[in-house]
């Protein structure tokens, strides 16, 4: 550990090892396998009949939901859950005429 780094550490932390350096960022333009963009591209190939925006939104929402629930966000889990949602969306019948809302309290 350099003496410069030791100057910036609190005295009670002097006996602890220095923190690991941050992982290198991926170069610009290169998509990592676990990026939501890359997951959306793979799922778009599986669901060509769905709108690309719908697929991207589904992947992004899945990431946000997992993070909100405190579940470890891994590319495999994101892709699996987004695929389940898209499969349900693709297999559900389209409503040509939306069902009118009827308040059940009125009888």
User: What is the per-residue pLDDT across 58-74, written as a single tens digit (0 to 9) for each?
Assistant: 999 999 999 999 988 88
User: Cα Rg for the chain, rounded, in angstroms?
Assistant: 23
pLDDT value, residue 64: 92
Report d(CA 78, CA 65) in Å as an integer.
Answer: 10
Cα 81 to Cα 32: distance, rounded to the nearest angstrom = 19
- Per-residue confidence at 13, pLDDT binned at 50, 70, 90? low
Give percent above pLDDT 90 in the chain.
43
H/E run at residue 23? none
Please tell me the distance from the alpha carbon of residue 66 to that of residue 70, in angstroms, as a whole number: 6
Look at the pTM and tell me if it is higher than 0.85. Answer: no
Average pLDDT over residues 23-35: 51
Q: What is the pLDDT of residue 91?
A: 87
What's the distance, Cα to Cα, between the start and end of the chain in Å? Answer: 76
């Amino acid at each position: 550990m350099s003496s410069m780094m030791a100057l910036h550490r609190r005295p009670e932390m002097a006996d602890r090892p220095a923190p690991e350096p941050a992982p290198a960022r991926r170069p610009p333009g290169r998509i990592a396998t676990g990026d939501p963009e890359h997951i959306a591209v793979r799922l778009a190939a599986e669901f060509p009949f769905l709108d690309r925006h719908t697929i991207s939104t589904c992947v992004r929402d899945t990431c946000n939901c997992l993070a909100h629930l405190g579940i470890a966000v891994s590319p495999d889990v994101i892709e699996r859950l987004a695929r389940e949602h898209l499969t349900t969306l693709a297999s559900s019948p389209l409503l040509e005429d939306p069902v009118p809302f009827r308040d059940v309290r009125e009888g």
